[in-house]
Chains A and B, each alone.
Chain A
Amino acid sequence: MHHVAVVRSQVPHGRIVAIDCREALAAAGVAGVFTGRDIGLRPYGRRVRDVPILAVDEVRFVGERVAAVVADSRSAAEKAAATVIVDVEELPPVLDAEQALTPGSPRVHETPWAYPGAVVSEADPHNLQSRVLHGRPDEVERRLAGSRHIVDRVYRFASGHQGYIEPQTCVASVDAEGTVHVWMANKSPYRLRAQLAACLDVPPDRIEIHPVAVGGDFGGKGSPMDAPLCAELARRTGRPVKLVQRYDEDLTSANPRHSGRIRVRIGCDSDGRLTALTADALFDGGAYAGFKPIATVSLHGLVDIGSSYRIPAAAVDVRIAYTNTVPRGHMRAPGAPEAVFAFEAAFDELASEAGLDPAEIRRRNLLRTGEANPWGETWVESRGLETLEAALAAYRPLDVDRGWRHGRGIAVYDRPTSPGKTSLRLLPSAEGVVAEVPMPETGTGAHTVVREGLARELGIEPGLVEVRQVSTAALPHDDGVGGSRVTAALSKAVAEAASAYIDRGSDEAVTVVVEPGDNPPVTAFCVQIAQVAVDPRSGQVRVLEILSAVDVAQVVNPHAHRLQIEGGAAMGYGLACLEDLVMRDGRVWAANLGEFRIPSTVDVPAWRTVLVEGGRGVGALGVKSVGELSNVPTAAAIAGAVADAAGVRARDLPITAEKVYALLRSEEVS
């Protein structure tokens, strides 16, 4: 096995004049050194194919891959990479999304509309990655003009890293027949195969993605990342190669969460009933759009803002801009924690204008069953009100230390449950069955769902079901882990496979492919109540408890389900109070997980969970999704609690002691 070390750009924007690899090529153990000129411009991407394997002629962010060294050990590769001299003529960078869309600003790409999959045209502002306009802006303006109370505020969000413990990792080899083999910490093997096929110009059936356990994903491991490079290097050197990113590389040059701002305007009548909502979101997409998988190249959480409520008129405008900063990607419920933070904070501020309690204004406006949400979706049931009441009934105020102030905040989120396409093969084993599944275990319990579901359907002990991930050559298809779809999709596959297996006498292999099909439109609500203590002298915030009330149907594995809720809330807490992937001069400042802090055992508050049972789910097991639910409203609930405690409203995340202190002092001055 040979190892790969990457030479990365040290400037946010520049033209590559020359790359001197001579010393690296002569170094002990080095099998090859490659640049973008060697590889050629072969862009890859999840939707827009704009990410070069190695930079060709131009670098667009600090951390971009410029050259790669292949050597017989990791240290030999790293030492040789350090000797590569990259001569760059610096170009003016654009480091801010607002500035990027201003006429005359530097161009991140010469012709962004020309990339395969691009959703922009030559007529758009030059650095636009995507724009989604939705709703009825004229109607919103008319209704806002007639509203009793109006709030118009801007909320801001730092970037953040997904914080998986296992960094981005890839192994590739090319066999004698030219088939490309990849072992990678990637959550969507079948999509990865298609993305690699498009980039490498190799038919998909000549690419095999092999099974691996993934050490945490949270949205960050859905892209091809280093796989195209590794495949090219394996092909060119004739050796299997391995690339494990050092965590500083992962922090500075992978695909962290988008930073941005949302301006929200909402109105209500004299009874506190919402009249209209409009949201104008502008987010920084960094140097490449290729890490966003959906057709709009946007963040669906932003587009769905306000979804839990009855709002007669709504409009949203979401723009994402290219800048010369690290390319941004997905993180657990992409865009939703930000949209919910902005909406719920504005809603609290509106409640205050209207003289209503935050719980009461939500009670009056939550969707009832049969009512359409602001984006025209109607669900078989809307249990937001029951979920809110369950949270309020379980709420118990906690004591705070002398001199500290107690605060309570409430936030609401709802997320639809939509299964994807997947497949499964069931075959007999010596004592029970083997289930071959197409998706990796990323820590969500996907394989546990299969084991327990099959045990139930076949009437055998779970211990007799062996679940095995197999390569992409072995099964027809899978949509990958993501979109909270895994349990819903797998439970359908499990039911169909078990039924077919029994029908054929339980002694021969069966393969099933399940399509999303006709599922009832189902959404799941999560209402969180945060309790905080704020020290008015220092601005320090202690989050004491997050109480999550969760709207559920059938729960397949109660332990795994609870961990999704608690782990999600921990991530929400990090977003609210800790995580800030600071950039200075276009460079990610954090070099390690001590400088970019994620929550530890002593940071996190206590978790309490209340399940609101009796809901109607989808699929054979009747489930509602949970994986991207509890991480979403947490920051909004904490911000509401801080406002309740301190009397000041933090409008940008994370909410640090410094920010609260500054808000308290400015309050005193005014």
Chain B
Amino acid sequence: MRLAFLLNGEQFETEAPGSVLLLDLIRGCGLWGTREGCGVGVCGACTVLVDGDPVSSCIYLAGCALGTEVWTVEGVARREPDLVEAFIEHEGLQCGACTPGQLVMAAALRARGKDPGEAATREFLAGNLCRCTGYRSIVESVRATLGS
């Protein structure tokens, strides 16, 4: 099928089978920042924004993105470089496998407004697993970019 949507702010068009996953489509374009971890929408490593909402691209049919605005970690990092800076400054990463998903979540949370507090931030990030850090530094990185 013909797929057309805005990808990281630019018009994107391709021909792809209706069954293709958004994750595979994105990575097929050379946008390798979006990672496949669990493959079933549990770990959050593959998170991208579709019309501002975070979705697990590993279980999201690319066809569902038709006519939407999709942002991957590459676009988010270009659009909001201070998020990346915050993760570096607060050491919000170790191995980096979960980091693209965490950055996209940080952008999604910021788009919703001011800092909702630590507990609500943790709830928001509960679907993004990290095995390295123990999360304190990730939560601090995310909150550092929010207005109070």
Q: Which residues of A contact B (CB under 8 A)?
A: 162-167, 213-218, 244, 246-248, 441-445, 559-560, 563, 566-571, 592-594, 598-602, 604, 607
Contact B134 A592 (CB under 8 A): no
Shortest B39–chain A CB gap in Å is 5
Query: Using Cβ atoms and an 8 Å threshold, which residues of chain B touch A246?
Result: 39
What A residues does B45 contact at CB under 8 A? 165
Given A165-B98, A218-B131, A567-B131: 19 more A-B contacts, CB < 8 Å: A165-B37, A165-B43, A165-B129, A167-B37, A441-B95, A443-B97, A560-B91, A563-B94, A566-B133, A566-B137, A592-B38, A594-B42, A600-B135, A601-B125, A601-B139, A602-B126, A604-B134, A604-B135, A607-B136
What is the distance, in angstroms, from A329's C-beta to the closest C-beta of chain B?
Answer: 16
- In the bound assembly, the distance between CA atoms of A125 and B71 in angstroms comes to 59
Known: A166-B97, A214-B95, A592-B42. A567 touches B133 (CB 8 A): yes
The residue of chain A having its C-beta at the shortest distance from the C-beta of B127 within the complex is: A600
Q: B94 contacts which of A166, A567, A594 (Cβ < 8 Å)?
A: A567
Are A602 and B97 in contact, CB atoms less than 8 angstroms apart? Answer: no
Mark each residue of chain B from 61 to 97: 1 if its CB lies under 8 Å from any CB of chain A, else 0: 0000000000000000000000000000001001111
Contact in complex: A445, B94 (CB < 8 Å) = yes
Contact A601 B95 (CB under 8 A): no
Set of chain B residues within 8 Å of A162, measured between Cβ atoms:
131
B22 at the interface (CB under 8 A from A): no
**C-beta contact mask, B30-57 vs A, less than 8 Å → 1, else 0?**
0000011111101101000000000000
CB pair A563 B134 closer than 8 Å = yes
- Which B residues touch A215, using CB under 8 A? 35, 95-97
Chain B 122-147 interface 0/1 with A at a Cβ cutoff of 8 Å (1 = within): 11011111111111111100000000
- Distance in Å: Cβ of B45 to nearest Cβ of chain A: 5
Given contacts A165-B45, A604-B135, contact A593 B95 (CB under 8 A): no
Chain B residues engaging chain A, CB cutoff 8 angstroms: 35-40, 42-43, 45, 91, 94-98, 122-123, 125-139
Supposing A165-B45, A166-B97, A213-B95 touch, asked if A566 and B35 sit within 8 A by C-beta, the answer is no
A597 vs chain B, min Cβ distance (A): 9
Whether the Cβ atoms of A444 and B134 lie closer than 8 Å is no
Which residue of B has the minimal Cβ distance to A602? B126
Question: Would you call B97 and A567 a contact (CB within 8 A)?
Answer: no
Q: Which 5 A-B pairs have the closest CB atoms?
A: A443-B95, A215-B97, A566-B134, A443-B94, A570-B134
Which residues in A have their C-beta under 8 angstroms from that of B95? Answer: 164-166, 213-217, 441-443
Question: Interface on chain B toward A: helix, strand, loop, or mixed SS?
Answer: loop
- Docked complex Cα distance between A247 and B46 (Å): 14
Flag if A569 contacts B134 (CB, 8 Å): yes
Known contacts A165-B97, A166-B95; A600 and B126 CB within 8 A of each other: yes
Q: In the complex, A220 Cα to B96 Cα: how many Å?
A: 17
Q: Are B123 and A247 in contact (CB under 8 A)?
A: no
Contacts of A165 in B (CB 8 A): 35, 37, 43, 45, 95, 97-98, 129-131
CA gap between A444 and B66 in the complex, in Å = 40
- Could you tell me the distance in whole angstroms from the C-beta of B49 to the nearest C-beta in chain A? 19
Query: Does B42 lie within 8 Å of A593, measured CB to CB?
Result: yes
A560 to B134 Cα, complex, angstroms: 12
Residues of A within 8 Å of B123, CB to CB, are 601-602
Q: How far does the Cβ of B144 sit from chain A's closest Cβ, in whole Å?
A: 14
Indicate the member of B123, B133, B137 with the most A CB atoms within 10 Å: B133
Contact A594 B96 (CB under 8 A): no
Residues of chain A within 8 A of B125, CB atoms compared: 600-601
- Give the residues in chain B near A244, CB-CB below 8 Å: 36
What chain A residues lie within 8 Å of B35 (beta carbons)? 165-166, 215
Q: Can you list 8 residue pairs at the A/B interface with Cβ under 8 Å? A: A247-B43, A443-B132, A563-B91, A570-B135, A598-B131, A599-B135, A600-B127, A607-B136
Nearest CB of A to B85, in Å: 15
Q: Which residue of A lies closest to B125 (CB)?
A: A601
- With A216-B131, A598-B129, A602-B123 as contacts: A593 and B37 at CB distance below 8 Å: yes
Residue contact B38 to A593, C-beta cutoff 8 Å: yes
Task: Judge whether A247 and B137 touch: CB under 8 Å.
Answer: no
- In the assembled complex, the Cα of A592 lies from the Cα of B42 at a distance in Å of 8
Residues of chain B with a CB closer than 8 A to A443's CB:
94-97, 132
Residue of A nearest to B91 (CB): A559
Across the interface, do B132 and A567 meet the contact criterion of CB distance under 8 Å? Answer: yes
CB atoms of B39 and A247 under 8 A apart = yes
Q: What's the minimum C-beta distance from A600 to chain B, rounded to whole angstroms? A: 5
Q: A165–B95 Cα gap in the complex (Å)?
A: 9
- Chain A residues with Cβ below 8 Å from B138 are 601
Taken together as a complex, chains A and B put the C-alpha atoms of A604 and B96 apart, in Å, by 20
A666 to B129, alpha carbons, bound, how many Å?
Answer: 36
A563 and B135 form a contact (CB under 8 A): no
Contact assessment for A164 and B91 in the assembled complex, using a CB-CB cutoff below 8 Å: no
Minimal Cβ-Cβ distance residue in A for B17: A75
C-alpha spacing A441/B95, complex, angstroms:
7
The reply to whether A563 and B38 contact each other, CB–CB distance below 8 Å, is no
A571 touches B135 (CB 8 A): no
Contacts of B122 in A (CB 8 A): 601-602
Closest to A603 in B: B126
| Interchain nearest-CB distance for B96 vs A (Å) | 7
Query: CA–CA, A519 to B32, complex, Å?
Result: 43
A244 closest partner in B (C-beta): B36
**In angstroms, how far is the closest chain A Cβ from the Cβ of B146?**
15
A165 to B133, CA, bound (A): 12
Rounded to whole angstroms, the CA-CA distance of A167 and B40 in the bound complex is 13
Q: Shortest distance in angstroms between A462's beta carbon and chain B's nearest beta carbon?
A: 13
Q: Within the assembled complex, what's the spacing in Å between the Cα atoms of A442 and B131?
A: 12
A546 nearest CB neighbor, chain B only: B134
Question: Does B37 contact A166, Cβ atoms closer than 8 Å?
Answer: yes
A462 vs B133: C-alpha distance in the bound complex, in angstroms? 23
Contacts A213-B96, A215-B95 given; does A164 touch B40 at CB 8 Å: no
CA distance A213 to B45 in the complex (A): 16
Q: How far is the CB of B18 from chain A (nearest CB, A)?
A: 14
Chain A residues in 8 Å Cβ range of B42: 592-594
Give the complex CA separation of A216 and B96 in angstroms: 8
B97 touches A164 (CB 8 A): yes
Question: Chain B CB within 10 Å — which of A559, A563, A604 has the most?
Answer: A563
Question: Cα distance A246–B43 when bound, in Å?
Answer: 13
User: Which of B38, B98, B128, B134 has the most chain A CB atoms inside 10 A of its CB?
Assistant: B134
- B94, chain A: closest CB distance, angstroms: 4
Q: Are A444 and B135 in contact (CB under 8 A)?
A: no
Give the chain B neighbours of A570 by CB distance below 8 A. Answer: 133-135
* Residue in B95, B125, B138 with the greatest tally of chain A CB atoms within 10 Å: B95
User: In the docked arrangement, what's the CA distance between A169 and B113, Å?
Assistant: 39
Whole-angstrom CA separation of A247 from B58 in the bound complex:
12
Complex contact B126–A601 (CB within 8 A): yes
Q: How far is the CA of A162 from the CA of B139 in the complex (A)?
A: 23
Assembled-state Cα–Cα distance A442/B96 (Å): 9
User: What are the residues of chain B within 8 A of A442 when measuring CB–CB?
Assistant: 95
The docked-state distance in angstroms from the alpha carbon of A567 to that of B135 is: 8
Q: A197 CB to closest chain B CB, in angstroms? A: 28
Which of B37, B94, B125, B133 is most buried by chain A, counting CB atoms within 10 A of its CB?
B94
B96 to chain A: which residues have CB within 8 Å?
213, 215, 443
Minimum distance in angstroms from A496 CB to a CB of chain B = 27
Measured in the bound complex, the distance between the Cα atoms of B23 and A246 in whole Å is 14
- Docked pose: A607 CA to B134 CA in angstroms: 8
Residues of A contacting B97 in the complex (Cβ-Cβ under 8 angstroms): 164-166, 215-216, 443
- Which B residue's beta carbon lies closest to that of A591? B40
